[in-house]
Amino acid sequence: MILDSKIPDGPLAEKWTKHKFSVKLVNPANKRKYDVIVVGTGLAGASAAASLAELGYNVKAFCFQDSPRRAHSIAAQGGINAAKNYQNDGDSIFRLFYDTIKGGDYRAREANVHRLAEVSVSIIDQCVAQGVPFAREYGGLLANRSFGGAQVSRTFYARGQTGQQLLLGAYSALSRQVANGKVKLYPRTEMMDVVIVDGKARGIITRNLITGAIESHSAHAVLLCTGGYGNVFFLSTNAMGSNVTAAWRAHKKGAFMANPCFTQIHPTCIPVSGDHQSKLTLMSESLRNDGRVWVPATKETAEKLRKGQIKASDIKEEDRDYFLERKYPSFGNLVPRDVASRNAKYVCDEGRGVNETGEAVFLDFRDAIIRDGKNVISAKYGNLFDMYQQITGEDPYQVPMMIYPAVHYTMGGLWVDYNLMTTVPGLYALGEANFSDHGANRLGASALMQGLADGYFVIPYTVGDYLAQTPSTKIGTDHPEFKKAEKEVKDRVQKLLSIKGEKTVDHFHKRLGKIMWNYCGMARTEEGLKEAKKMIQELKAEFWSNVKVLGENEELNQSLEKAHRVADFIELGELMVDDALNRNESCGGHFREEYQTPEGEALRDDANYAYVAAWQYVGEGQEEVLHKEPLVFENVKLTQRSYK
Amino acid sequence: MSWVSKTLNSTLGRKLLMALTGLFLILFLVVHLAGNLQLLIPDGGESFNIYAETMAKNPLIRVVSIGNFAFILIHVVYSIMLSRYNKAARPIGFAESKANTNSAWASRNMGILGTLILIFLLVHLRGFWYEFKFGEIPTAVYEGVTYKNVYLIVAEAYSNPLYVLFYVVSMGFLAFHLSHGFASAFQTLGLNHAKYSPLIQKVGIGFSILIPALFALIPIMMFLQA
Amino acid sequence: MNLTLKIWRQRNNADKGGFKEYKVTEVSKDMSFLEMLDVLNESLTEKGEDPVHFDHDCREGICGMCSLYINGKPHGPLQTTTCQLHMRSFNDGETITIEPWRAKAFPVMKDLVVDRSAFDRIIQAGGYISVNTGGVPDANEIPIPKTVADKAMDAAQCIGCGACVAACKNASAMLFTSAKISQLALLPQGQVERKTRAEKMVAQMDAEGFGACTNTGACEAECPKGISITNIARMNREYFTAVVSSENL
């Protein structure tokens, strides 16, 4: 099978405009004859569901949370990028496009990224019209800030809760359509499978999380807006419920998974405090603007510190190693996320880490407080300092903060073409669930942009193109394919419940997380990945013979919910390892230790790996088949990133 | 349902009636107190008796007093309705509650305080208003005009220490009721503003202490003078 | 730390339910409250007992999914969400009582899980600005004074957790409803539907069976996002103005 990305011809800047004109339209009177299923109600899902309902399609929206407003988009803090150039500082659509491509280490499609930059401006207009209270200047116009090392101020924000406000905006648009009767909402409902009829996605199977009822839903198109799979690492900044199940079931039904090994590790998270840890909390990247990252210069000092024999303040200036400032004199503490994360790992691996676990580095505000005064620092970071204190019980004004990298975002996801359609006709993937726009590394404040771009401004055109070519005839849920899929789901439920093994679901999830973090995390090696693959296969076998899921299907059963998700994470984990093993280069969030420059920086191999790795599921127990979509760069010159 | 009844049946509409009638009753307290303080004038009740008779004969005051009764009735009826409604909103309560850490006691017990005040009110009306209107009351003659000598009734009542105690304690309930009710009425009316609300709060507290204290002072003084 | 947990267990909505006591040992002070419950659930599962069901998702204080009435207070002793509460707020040997949100409008689904879809229906009644995707003016076309935008943001921060309802002696949802009415009433974009919105959202709030407001201020004191009851006053104003002047009969 040859992957057809369906990128329109013509100059980069005209592709989307041209495409919008060339897509087929569904007659306004006919739109009501089409049903669209939207799974997930985060930024991508809620915006898509609302926009499609506004156009007149009948939408069914599903989420596993108790309300669409809880989707994990809500936790995004920093902001949303848009090439508005309100600040007159030289921003443009092309610059946002260029920054995103470069930031992604040249592993994203030019056409998709340019479209993203184009529609970014409309997103802000839309959100303001919905009543999103973005930060404003005294003159009443919108405020911007520079984010994640960008050289222009293009980030719009609503305090430290931009994701929340954007999601509530999309949720309000969705709620309006629910009231209008154009969207039927299914909260506390988990998608269990995609139903494919005559090669096209025609519906889904769901489980009602309250009653356990396994139900079928038929439609003309299915949109997966189900977010990322960072929880494959067990510990991540994702919400506890974030999972890969919907995407993975789609994958097993024929949708290719692209670049699954591309995960983003965020450097400034609160370190793990013990075995009980259930999730990690991110603190805004902005802390690195004033905080200095260091560890003790020697192992011995670090050891004393870990044992509590000395305090951080006892360590003299000359015994501290400000390793980022030392290695990257021009960028210092502001090196990109992947570089900062990797170097923190290195010093901890050397035995110089702090915290009782040895897996943390200091982020010290002492000098900043001396320089600017406590008030200035408090005005900038007060809420973050409070949050840190609430979680750790330590006062960062008095003692240095401790941070450690954590999994934050997954750039990989379902392979989609320019229309956001997966390799299964009628099955679409939007937002973090797809792979399309961030390449091997995502820039700060771009996730929100992509989710809303896909939902508000891309899918309404592209899904119409597909539906216009699809007969409006409905397929009943009594169709054999639905019945078959339903039975598969029920069998799987029964299987999980009947194992009655010894170990809890979380036990397996934690073990999987450890394998992934140690071998497929910040730094990967061929040897380690091969080892990991074996371990995951063993874990999978053990899971299916020894997992303990109590209770029954016909009730609210959180263990059963988790068991489904973890079973899928285990399979995904193996594919991530395969993907990381295949990619014999280092790029963005993917760092293979064998492929680095003499200075220890990521070494890309554009000649051999400038492609999207799209994996095809071919059957239980079989190796997945790799398909390559070559990446063609006509508008940017590929360069090596350097932050020295 | 017309928009009026719809509104008055909504939770906000009911609260609106509570607030408006409450504020009127607050005003009434001031007027009532101003009159009653004349009991303390050492003229053997002359000013008070003349005042009472004048008030009773003034047609405007008669209308207002009917309104007053109506407002008390609305205040009471709606409070019962709201209490029942609110109770129904939480059929199963919490086993443990630390409500004292998040709100003032009086604010959570307006219904109880209101009931106690209502009991006081009934006793009070029976003792004085009813007597004044329908009872056999001795008379007094000032400058050739005959007046009902209400003062005598009051003075008699206040010579009983239990009666005085009942009055004083009841004024305590009133104080607590007002300590929440005064500012709360403004909040319900939507009158909450950073510039004025602190003042309303302060005035409310001052009012809730001063007015009941002065009311309580009358029986105490009269008891001591007797 | 060793603790005794007194937890409300209820199999489903129809079940009567009751408290059950559990001992947890070796609780670390650095654990979050929910992690402590995770540990309990692991041990219950190992013993073959049904784990305690509770709602949670982001565990960073923003999704609003976690609830729990802990020792007589919504979200426990601090003014934060349960997921941000850590065990250092408790003492060794303490008995901790954990109950679900209690309100007619929030029926218990299982153990500590309640149905808060009433909040969604209140938003569906009018908690939005009716603009379709596309065709909106430029974001900077209407300047909004910073103070107004900030106030709207103060109200918009509501996470919809329902602590206000749990804190209120009347199980009233006025803080939640007023936060959305306020946000949209403050912004110029919200003016067009301002009156209808207030009328409809209040009507829906009542229809859901939430109680009335006694202005005790408990909701504000317990709100993890510090939403102010000035919003309730604003809602009252909006509503009274709307009913006497709107075109809706």
pLDDT, tens only, C118-162: 999 999 999 999 999 999 999 999 999 999 999 999 999 999 999
Which residue in the list A70, A154, A337, A342 is annotated as catalytic?
A: A337
Domain C116-245, what architecture? Orthogonal Bundle (1.10)
Residues of B in contact with C97 (CB under 8 A): 95-96
Q: Which of A407, A429, A463 is the last residue of a domain?
A: A407
pLDDT at res. C39: 96
pLDDT at res. C77: 97
Contact map slice: C 173-202 vs A, CB within 8 A: 183-184, 187, 189-190
Q: Order of strands, edge to edge, in the sheet holding A183-186?
A: A183-186, A58-62, A35-39, A221-224, A427-429
Rounded Cα gap, residues A497 and A560, in angstroms: 8
Phi, psi of A643 (to 5 degrees): -125, 20
Domain containing residue A512: CATH number = 1.20.58.100
Phi, psi of A174 (to 5 degrees): -65, -45
Residue A285 has which token pair? 């990247």
Range of the domain at B86: 3-90+105-225
3-state SS assignment for residue A60: strand
Residue A311 has which token pair? 């305090």
A and C adjacent (3 or more CB pairs under 8 angstroms): yes
| Closest by CA position to C76, among listed C163, C198, C196, C18 | C163
In a domain, B100, yes or no: no
| Closest by CA position to A427, among listed A464, A401, A463, A475 | A463
In a domain, A316, yes or no: yes
Neighbours of A249 (CB within 10 A): 22
Count of structural domains within chain B: 1
CA distance C215 to chain A (A): 27
pLDDT at res. B1: 66
Range of the domain at A566: 482-609
In a domain, A374, yes or no: yes
**How far lies A114's CA from each of A8, A99, A442, A443, in Å?**
12, 11, 15, 15
The stretches of A181-260 forming alpha helices (DSSP H) are 245-252
In a domain, A385, yes or no: yes
A130/C55 touch (CB, cutoff 8 Å), yes or no? no
C and B adjacent (3 or more CB pairs under 8 angstroms): yes
Number of helices and strands (H, E) in chain B?
Answer: 10, 2
The neighbours of chain A, by the rule of 3 or more Cβ pairs under 8 Å, are: C
Phi, psi of A265 (to 5 degrees): -105, 125
Determine how β-strand A611-616 pairs with β-strand A257-258: antiparallel
In a domain, A49, yes or no: no
Residues of C in contact with A460 (CB under 8 A): 133
CB-closest option in B86, B94, B99 to C212: B86
Count of structural domains within chain A: 2
Q: Which of A347, A381, A407 is the last residue of a domain?
A: A407
In DSSP notation, B96-138 reads S--GGGTS-HHHH-HHHHHHHHHHHHHHHIIIIIHHHHHS---
Testing the interface with C: which of A74, A231, A555, A561 to mutate, by most C Cβ within 10 A?
A: A74
In a domain, A451, yes or no: no
Residue A487 has which token pair? 């039975």
DSSP C224: T
**Is A360 in the same domain as A488?**
no
Neighbours of B81 (CB within 10 A): 15
B86/C205 touch (CB, cutoff 8 Å), yes or no? no
Rounded Cα gap, residues C82 and A418, in angstroms: 42
pLDDT in tens, B72-117: 999 999 999 999 999 999 999 999 999 999 999 999 999 999 999 9
CB-closest option in A129, A136, A277 to C131: A129
Residue B130 has which token pair? 């009813």
Residues of B in contact with C19 (CB under 8 A): 95
What beta strand segments (E) does A163-291 contain? 183-186, 189-197, 200-208, 214-218, 221-224, 257-258, 263-269
Chain A contact for C45, CB < 8 A?
yes
**Is A382 in the same domain as A299?**
yes
Sign of CA dihedral A57, A63, A66, A72: negative
pLDDT at res. A62: 98
B189/C171 touch (CB, cutoff 8 Å), yes or no? no
**Is A492 in the same domain as A601?**
yes
Known active-site residue A583: no
* ipTM (interface pTM): 0.98
Mean pLDDT value across chain B: 95
Phi, psi of A593 (to 5 degrees): -60, -30
Mean pLDDT, contiguous 10-residue spans, chain A (644 residues): 92 97 96 98 98 98 98 94 97 97 95 98 98 97 87 92 97 98 98 98 98 98 98 97 98 98 95 92 88 96 94 94 93 86 93 94 96 90 88 94 96 98 98 96 94 98 98 97 98 97 97 97 96 98 98 97 98 98 96 92 95 97 97 94 74
- Decide: A628 and A299 in contact? Cβ < 8 Å: no
CB-closest option in A66, A173, A556 to C110: A556
In DSSP notation, A586-623 reads -BTTB-BTTSB-TTS-B---HHHH-EEEEEE--STTSP
Residue B13 has which token pair? 């509409």
Label each residue of B127-146 as H, E or C: HHHHHHHHCCCCEEEECCEE
Q: Has residue B191 got a pLDDT over 70? A: yes
Domain containing residue B136: CATH number = 1.20.1300.10
C62/A392 touch (CB, cutoff 8 Å), yes or no? no
Question: Exposed, middle or buried: residue A229 (CB in 10 Å: 0-12, 13-18, 19+)?
Answer: buried
pLDDT at res. A379: 82
Q: Which of A371, A388, A407 is the last residue of a domain?
A: A407
In a domain, A604, yes or no: yes
CATH 3.40.718.10 at C3-110, yes or no = no
- Kindly state the average pLDDT of the residues C14-43: 96
Predicted structure pTM score = 0.97
CA distance C158 to chain B (A): 19
DSSP A224: E
Domain containing residue A397: CATH number = 3.90.700.10
Segments making up each domain of chain C, as ranges: 3-110, 116-245
Determine how β-strand C73-74 pairs with β-strand C18-24: unpaired
Number of helices and strands (H, E) in chain C?
Answer: 8, 7
Rounded Cα gap, residues A327 and A335, in angstroms: 10
| Closest by CA position to C221, among listed A355, B108, A519 | B108
